[in-house]
A and B are shown apart, each in its own frame.
Chain A
């Protein structure tokens, strides 16, 4: 091989190794595990019998599976809509020049900087039924008579968990959308203003089309991050009350690291990976169409 070729290979090797070990190996291992009877014993004896689709059949036949799928969908859609709308409104708001703009924007990043486990523990106290500050406040304001069972009623818990996840996701949406807004040249707005495009019209005909690339990446990353949310739910409800906040990600965690049925946990996480892949493909499609345009 010529020197140049060797150099090329050497440059590629580190990245290739990283991909093979950090991406390829776990994904392949996870896929293989999901077809094996992979439990505690496997770690000691190295033995994991091939059992075909048994793990998938088992987890999909559990009572909780349907609920977990529905909850995953509700949790993802609810979180994304909330995060995106609020993040977008805040981004538009911060685009205006006003005093303390930077300080306020930095404060909005706080939820992101806080370790998740701290955030969820704080929210658990805030949403506590009897003495949590939310209920005390609502009661003192005369908005409610009886305390809202935020985390203790199966009808409300999922909403509470979504609200906390929205709080957590706002900084991510705000940051990406705000930086997207910065990239839109002011000339467009000036030219638009001359043609009478102000306010809502300016947003609809200038901001939104210009922001589409940022919006689609924000939404896609948002969906993938939200699908696999685990710590927030673990910290707030552990999937309860009565499985009301079970999601596929939580089920996967519980099968693997609570029940030590690693094969079944892997099957559930593969289901989740496939769902994420669908969104990634949709994103690529949308993106390609835009480039073609």
Chain B
């Protein structure tokens, strides 16, 4: 081909141009908006990123942040919210472009994963600690013995029961697994199931399996233990006996709530964020902690909820103010306010009595939250690997692909 050489030269010129353009762009965006490493410099604005993307939470959090800004002498708090599933992706983009916010909200099981990357500042650097907080939120926020986040309020999951249906059937809310199975069986008739839970092949399904697993003494570091197998057996018994729908393996927690509202489930495993929907649907419900397998066990459910962190940025002064903002979001007054608004429980144990008195519908959650266990407390940033094994094993049991005793091994547990 006679044109080959010429073409190649042109291609070379184009390629050179192509390489130069992004370099020029990078040079433009490379400069930081604040070069100040001076800790005493005045700070007039802070950026905050969270996933409180829906009303009313978005406005409530925004107002609380602004009020806190004013109280610590920061004129403007720039509050940005993104949809929940996109938060981590947004943080990753910001991390690679060095535009992390001054204050970052994280879902509690994500804290250690992000802390492990070195993106967050230890809160002790700013004189903050978590004295008086429940143990769950502290464990979730601690990575390699350092505290990286403060979580103002927490939720967990517990048994919701329809008071009308249970009293009509003469059934008491269950306190043991046997009672749960008999109650669920008795409450199953026609198109109504006794119990509903979520067993999807994702983190949500894994989170719902933790109450039976942990309450029975199972542990995420030893998934092949008999305690875990017994918990799997409980889920299997409920489905095999027809007391829970086979569809649980495809129901999200929102679907489970819909079933409960439609009176197609007399009891369900769910969390307090469903309360507004239940109230709106005028369901007469009660809440009890997840039952125990044997006497002497403590009902243990997983810790839910979000915490505030301070990412490492180039400005010492801003990080210091950001830590003050995090502290302000965690004052007694703000914990109580946020808990009431958001249907969560304050994480400071001393606030429990006052909170119970002011929020009678939430009383059933105060004790479960105080005992709630963090998913990442033992495994830290290795939790996602185990969670995947948990939900895979659980699905294999519920679909009859594996027996409870060897499901976790089959799913990859070591």
Inter-subunit contact A43/B250 (CB<8 Å): no
B200 at the interface (CB under 8 A from A): yes
Inter-subunit contact B395/A240 (CB<8 Å): yes
Inter-subunit contact A9/B18 (CB<8 Å): no
Q: How far is the CB of A161 from chain B (nearest CB, A)?
A: 12
Chain B residue contacts of A131, Cβ below 8 A: 191, 264
B76 at the interface (CB under 8 A from A): no
Inter-subunit contact A152/B10 (CB<8 Å): no
Inter-subunit contact B395/A9 (CB<8 Å): no
Inter-subunit contact B116/A241 (CB<8 Å): no
**Do A16 and B201 form a contact, CB below 8 Å, given A149-B246, A259-B388, A260-B384?**
no
Nearest A residue to B15, CB-CB: A20
Inter-subunit contact B201/A243 (CB<8 Å): yes
**Do A241 and B399 form a contact, CB below 8 Å, given A151-B250, A260-B88?**
yes
A257 at the interface (CB under 8 A from B): yes
Inter-subunit contact B14/A242 (CB<8 Å): no
- Provide the bound-state CA to CA distance between A152 and B18, in Å: 51
Question: Which residues of A in the span 127-171 have a Cβ within 8 Å of any Cβ on B?
Answer: 128-131, 149, 151-154
Q: How far is the CB of B222 from chain A (nearest CB, A)?
A: 20
Nearest B residue to A149, CB-CB: B246
A114 at the interface (CB under 8 A from B): no
Chain A residue contacts of B200, Cβ below 8 A: 238, 240
Question: Which residues of B in the span 216-252 have a Cβ within 8 Å of any Cβ on A?
Answer: 245-247, 249-250
Chain A residue contacts of B89, Cβ below 8 A: 257
Chain B residue contacts of A129, Cβ below 8 A: 245-247
Q: How far is the CB of B266 from chain A (nearest CB, A)?
A: 15
Inter-subunit contact A128/B247 (CB<8 Å): yes
Inter-subunit contact A44/B10 (CB<8 Å): no
Inter-subunit contact A16/B18 (CB<8 Å): yes
Chain A residue contacts of B388, Cβ below 8 A: 259
Inter-subunit contact B92/A12 (CB<8 Å): no
Inter-subunit contact B385/A45 (CB<8 Å): no
Chain B residue contacts of A20, Cβ below 8 A: 15, 18
Nearest A residue to B410, CB-CB: A63
Chain A residue contacts of B18, Cβ below 8 A: 16-17, 20-21
B125 at the interface (CB under 8 A from A): no
Chain B residue contacts of A258, Cβ below 8 A: 202-203, 384
**Do A242 and B250 form a contact, CB below 8 Å, given A9-B14, A43-B96, A130-B191?**
no
Chain B residue contacts of A152, Cβ below 8 A: 246-247, 249-250, 399
Question: Which residues of A in the span 226-240 have a Cβ within 8 Å of any Cβ on B?
Answer: 237-240
In the assembled complex, 5 residue pairs joining A and B whose CB atoms fall closer than 8 Å, in A order, are A9-B14, A17-B17, A131-B264, A238-B202, A241-B250
Known: A40-B114, A151-B247. 4 other contacts (CB 8 A): A40-B116, A44-B118, A63-B412, A131-B191
